[in-house]
Amino acid sequence: MRHSLSRIVSTVAVLCLGLLVVAGSAPPSATAAGPRTTVIVSPHPDDETLRLTGYIRYAVERGDRLILVAVTDGGASAVRAQFGFTVGQLKAVRRAEQVAAWSYLTDNGQVIRLGLEDGAVAGRKAAITARVKELAAQYGPTTEFYVAALLDDDHPDHSATAEAVRDGGARVVRYSRGPVDDRPGSVYRPTSGYLWGAQRADAAYDEVGYASAGVGFVALEDSGYASVVVP
């Protein structure tokens, strides 16, 4: 097929004009505020998936920007000896499980690692609170914080994380129950269209996550990946 030079030139000119028009007109959704930001705060790798899979999917489908604050790398898990890992190896595997799960849940959600010592979060609450304040300042007053833990949680790292986020004073802070806790709250489940993402996130924990929290993962699957969120 032959094209005359003038035809090609005019086609290129139209394409360039189109690009200029696109570049010069802001899309209607690009407001100063941008999308809402939802920050998920997880004491250990697997807490975000065990407690907030359903809610994370809900926030993603709503169009939120998703950020995970990973408080520890889970280096104190009792399953370390079972795998023959050093602490460094255990942390590496747990970080990898968490990043993979987070990717399946959010596609391109950001991860911020605080690197606090597993088991010693209570003494470092100020670091979490400071990061919460920074994120609230950076992303604005619509930013919402969802903690993969409860204020009265049995695990001291969990309650310390919940208290630290609360102390950040953000407009919206919510907490979440574990999958074996059947007390009531607001329930979120992934829609059937996104069930595969929840299942992949779950499967990302098939090594250390399943060994350390197997009962929780079974309960999570049985619940249809429900999240139970409380004020």
Which residues in this chain contact Zn ion in the complex, by CB under 5 A? 43-44, 47
Q: Which is nearer to Zn ion, 40 or 136 (CB)?
A: 40
Q: Nearest distance from residue 170's CB to Zn ion, in Å?
A: 21
Q: Which is nearer to Zn ion, 16 or 87 (CB)?
A: 87
Residue nearest to Zn ion (CB): 44
Q: Which is nearer to Zn ion, 65 or 80 (CB)?
A: 80
Q: Which is nearer to Zn ion, 64 or 97 (CB)?
A: 97
Q: Nearest distance from residue 43's CB to Zn ion, in Å?
A: 5
Q: Nearest distance from residue 55's CB to Zn ion, in Å?
A: 16
Q: Nearest distance from residue 30's CB to Zn ion, in Å?
A: 38
Q: Nearest distance from residue 23's CB to Zn ion, in Å?
A: 47
Q: Which is nearer to Zn ion, 156 or 169 (CB)?
A: 156
- What 3 state SS string does the chain have? CCCCHHHHHHHHHHHHHHHHHHHHCCCCCCCCCCCCEEEEEECCCCHHHHHHHHHHHHHHHHCCEEEEEEEECCCCCCCHHHHCCCHHHHHHHHHHHHHHHHHHHHCCCEEEEEEECCCCHHHHHHHHHHHHHHHHHHHCCCCEEEECCCCCCCCHHHHHHHHHHHCCCCCEEEEECCCCCCCCCEEECCCHHHHHHHHHHHHCCCCHHHHHHHHHHHHHHHCCCCEEEEC
